[in-house]
Amino acid sequence: MKKKITALLALTLVSTLGASSAFATMPDKNDRPDALIKGTFKYATKFQDVTLDDWAIRFVTEMNAKGVINGYGDGRFLPSNNVTHEEAIVMTVRAMGLGDEAQAVSPNLTLDLTDAAQVSDWAKPYVSLALQNGFLDAKTALNPQGNADREWTTELVVRAMGLSDEAQAHMKDTLAFNDAKEIDASAVGYVAVAADHKIINGYNDHTFQPNKPVARNELAVILCNAEHLFDYNADRQHQAQGQLQGVLKTITAAGITFSTQTKGDVTYKVAAQSYFFLNNKIAEWSDFKPGMNVRVLLNQNGEVVFAQAKDVAPSLEEIENFAKGKVIGYTAATATAEGSISINNNKSLTLPVAKDAKVLLNGVAGQISTVKVNDSVRLVILDNTVIQINVVKATSAGGDDSFSPEKPVLK
């Protein structure tokens, strides 16, 4: 993770951008066809203390557009302020797609924590969901107002991603950080998994600094890196609707056309207010060139409010999502039409199946001909469409991929 800028300009983005087209302003009407897909994303806040050259501006902007992070209501984000334990939990729960569910929980509930009385009322619903989902442990002290350090935050996020079993399998790993000896033995596996999945990185001096408090902009980066690894359930499906990626074909002030793996060629209008990023830096739409890899976020009108272009194509592992559960309905795709699959894992989830989706048995292609109701499956998802179905069956050597991993204590 890059070091954050320590000196912030006092000039607000609102005034700074008055003569700039970095945050594009488009006419209310244009002649592009109506969008094919509508999204849930909003035009992000222009925080006055997040400057155009802030190293984390893309991450902060994207996480705000997705409703994961918010400012203080006065135009400030306070990017270098330390995150508390309860704040880290709130942001993580939102990144999981559970923000709406948290809003429906009464703040007058009783939390099963030894220091529950210290949890802020506004954070209680999120902490309750963290306890219910097993990535925060009951009957322990949270110290909600204490600073969340890098080690604690790493374990929190890895557990929220459902990768506790993987972390436990890596507890004996030798970490490559110069200060690896400062990482608690119980956290080694979590740090190893987070580093392997590129969720959190070390500093330029090859240290991890496990006891260093996490700043607000740093948490935006961590959650942005982790987001696609959170279990893709009905909540995440709603939150991720309207995020698409592909190879850019054409772009004008009015609209953007790109070729996707799952939907073919698509064209979307650009919203009256939108953000453009080239890699992680603010850009103009004219900086986007055909052949670049592009990712867009659509608002509820199906218009682009955020677009990021890169010269280098991301690997599938960097952009795919995952879901798992028991099949409750399945229609196979054909060469000319998408299929459909419905699974249940606490909640039901129905997704289209790509025409060229692969079907595997315990990770091996060609070993199974179809998917049956009650099969345990693990789905690989891209652009809200299933591109791979892995049917998981018990073998003589072991179980069925463990859909309910045990959660170790979060210290």
- Boundary (domain end) residue, out of 210, 236, 262: 236
Helix axes 85-95, 216-226, angle to 10 degrees: 30
Q: Domain range for residue 347?
A: 320-392
Decide if 171 contacts 185 (C-beta within 8 A): yes
- Boundary (domain end) residue, out of 172, 204, 236: 236
Residues 330 and 226 in one domain: no
Is residue 253 one of the residues assigned to a domain? no
Q: What is the per-residue pLDDT for 316?
A: 87
Is residue 410 one of the residues assigned to a domain? no
SS3 at position 359: strand
Q: What is the per-residue pLDDT for 410?
A: 40
Residues in Cβ contact with 61 at an 8 Å cutoff, skipping those fewer than 6 apart: 44, 50, 275, 277, 306
* Alpha-carbon gap, residue 230 to 321, rounded angstroms: 8
Q: What is the per-residue pLDDT for 227?
A: 94
Q: Structurally, how many domains does the chain consist of? A: 2
Q: Is 323 exposed, middle or buried (0-12, 13-18, 19+ CB in 10 A)?
A: buried
The total of other beta-carbon atoms located within 10 Å of residue 262's CB is 22
197 dihedral zone (left: phi>0; alpha: psi -120 to 50; beta): alpha
Is residue 6 one of the residues assigned to a domain? no
Q: What is the per-residue pLDDT for 396?
A: 55
Alpha-carbon Rg for the chain, nearest whole angstrom, is 22
Residues 83 and 230 in one domain: yes
Is residue 244 one of the residues assigned to a domain? no
**Structure tokens of 353?**
């199946």
- Give me the residues of the chain with pLDDT under 70, please: 1-36, 395-411
Is residue 185 one of the residues assigned to a domain? yes
Is residue 177 one of the residues assigned to a domain? yes
pLDDT digits (tens, 9 = 90+) for 195-204: 999 999 899 9
Residue written as token pair 């939150």: 239
- In the structure, how many helices (H) and strands (E) does the chain have? 11, 12
Per-residue 3-state assignment (H helix, E strand, C coil) for 268-296: EEEEEEEEEEECCEECCHHHCCCCCEEEE
Computed from CA positions of residues 290, 58, 70, 243, in that sequence, does the dihedral angle turn out positive or negative? positive
Q: What is the per-residue pLDDT for 198?
A: 93
Is residue 96 one of the residues assigned to a domain? yes
Residues in Cβ contact with 18 at an 8 Å cutoff, skipping those fewer than 6 apart: none
**Structure tokens of 119?**
């949890």
Is residue 1 one of the residues assigned to a domain? no
SS3 at position 320: coil
Residues 369 and 230 in one domain: no
For 14-79, the DSSP string reads HHHGGG--SS-B--S---SPPPSS-----PPP--TTS-TT-TTHHHHHHHHHTTS----SSS---T
The vertex-201 CA angle with 197 and 206, nearest 5°, equals 130
Residues 65 and 173 in one domain: yes
C-alpha dihedral over 226, 394, 376, 154, to 10 degrees? -10
CATH number, domain with residue 336: 2.40.50.140
Residue written as token pair 């309860």: 86
* Alpha-carbon gap, residue 255 to 294, rounded angstroms: 13
- Boundary (domain end) residue, out of 191, 215, 236: 236
Backbone angles phi, psi at 221, to 5 degrees: -65, -45
* Alpha-carbon gap, residue 101 to 264, rounded angstroms: 33
By 3-state DSSP, what share of the chain in percent is helix, strand and coil, each rounded to 5? 25, 25, 50
263: amino acid identity, one letter: K
Residues 93 and 226 in one domain: yes
